[in-house]
Structure 1
Amino acid sequence: MATKLFVTSEGLQQADEKQAHWMLRATAHFLSYLFHPVFVPLYVIAFLLFTEPFLFVGASPQEKVLTLGRAFINYTFFPLISVLLLKGLGLIGSIKLQDRKDRIIPFIICNIWYFWIWYVWRGLPGAPQFLIVFALSVFLASSIGLLANIYLKISMHGIAMGTATSFLCLLSLDASAPNLTIYLAAAILLTGLVGTSRLLLGEHSPGEYYWGLAASALAVFIASLVA
């Protein structure tokens, strides 16, 4: 088995390629869970609602909470419940979806929820255009991921983080938006850290993560044109 050298307090130590310092692995697991694909869209919408509420000028606190609640139900709650039900029915081998074939049905189910929330927000009077663009971006990114999953184990974390970062890039190009430089820099840094975490844990190859980023960038670009 291939080996690597790690620097420890005792000097250079040899370890298996799939092993790393326990603190690094613990951090990688933490980042993987914190920025799991079911949470990332919720973070973006919370950012739009409460950190930079320029998209929701005049919206009451109740309306903002309601919007966040809708996002939680469709982007987090329903996908999580769906995966748990699939596991309970024996239709997938693990809730971690480590096998490429296990991802097919969850991708399809999540696409239904993603399409629904985009369809609902699109029909709401006064809904901010960028909110609709983001919802469509998530749906398109997931759809591209489903197609790509036929050929490779595309990174869901890459899709999620790429969608968030690409969307912030799109927002930063809007003349009416405030200065988003610090937030965009943070998003790029987190995207790199999450990608490094997935590679460190051996969940993906670099190419699989990069394809996830590319799929999400394409989705945001298409959504910005058609939404």
Structure 2
Amino acid sequence: MLLATYLFGLFAFTLPQAFSPLKEDGHFKFVLLIFCVTFLLPALNIGLFKMLGYVKSVAMEDRRDRVVPFLFMSLLYCAITYLFYSRTRIGIHDNLLKFLIIIDVLVVVGAVVTLFYKVSVHSIGAWGIVGILLPLNKVVEDGTLFYPMLASIVIAGVVMTSRLQLNAHTPREVMIGSILGLVTGFGSIVLLF
């Protein structure tokens, strides 16, 4: 849930054109807004789902516990993107909307796969960022994304290792999540940009 905030926070420092058409003084306000709607709101809802009995624990160790929260988060992320599109002057060709759509696609892929198989959503998110940064690094001429891209690869490896060390997932669940995240992030960037 924090990966959207991390991505836009990184862009605020290294790739301000990702926020097009927002003015530069609005980048950090946007990152704060993204934090609220993609982390705080879903986290509160997961707590609510726990209180209502839709999930046994907030760790959501069982695949069935993940279905309702993940579908809700997909709906929430897509609704927020639609609101940005319909209520602001952000257009279909603006970078900001494209990045929001890519994040939505990653969340929806995670939710849809969860309907059938328990997959590491942490791996989807971490490798989704790698998939976004890899082609962007090639396009950005000044090389500002090179070290963040390398760091994201290392972090994605640490995330995978931690999911295995905690026995939260099997190696197969982590690998499938990694492949889904990388392919979805990379493919979305190639298609939209």
Query: Shorter-chain TM-score: what band?
Result: 0.7 to 0.9
Q: What residue number does 2:11 align with?
A: 48
**Is 2:174 aligned against 1:209?**
yes
Separation (CA, whole Å) in 1 of partners of 2:94 and 2:142 = 13
Separation (CA, whole Å) in 2 of partners of 1:224 and 1:177 = 20
On the 8 A contact 2:163/2:169 being kept in 1, the answer is: yes
Shift, 1:125, TM fit: 2.8
On the 8 A contact 1:159/1:216 being kept in 2, the answer is: yes
The sequence identity of aligned pairs, in percent, is 24
On the 8 A contact 2:105/2:184 being kept in 1, the answer is: yes
Q: What residue number does 1:125 align with?
A: 89
Question: What CA deviation, in whole Å up to 9, does each residue of 1:34-87 have, x standing for no partner?
Answer: xxxx111111111111344343478243x1232112201221011101100000
- The residue type paired with residue 163 of structure 2 is R
Larger Rg: 1
- The residue type paired with residue 102 of structure 2 is S
Q: Point out the structure with the larger helix share.
A: 2
Which of 57, 64, 72 is the aligned partner of 1:94? Answer: 57
- The residue type paired with residue 132 of structure 2 is F
**Is 2:73 aligned against 1:73?**
no
Which of 125, 132, 146 is the aligned partner of 1:160? Answer: 125
Q: Point out the structure with the larger strand share.
A: 1
C-alpha RMSD over aligned residues: 2.3
Q: How many residues align?
A: 189
Aligned pairs (5 A) from 1:1-227: 38-56=1-19, 59-61=23-25, 63-123=26-86, 124-125=88-89, 129-176=94-141, 178-220=143-185, 221-222=187-188, 224-226=190-192
TM-score (norm 1): 0.74
TM-score (norm 2): 0.86
Say if 1:95 and 1:195 are closer, same or farther in 2 by CA, change over 3 A: same
Structure 2 portions without partners, runs of 5+:
none
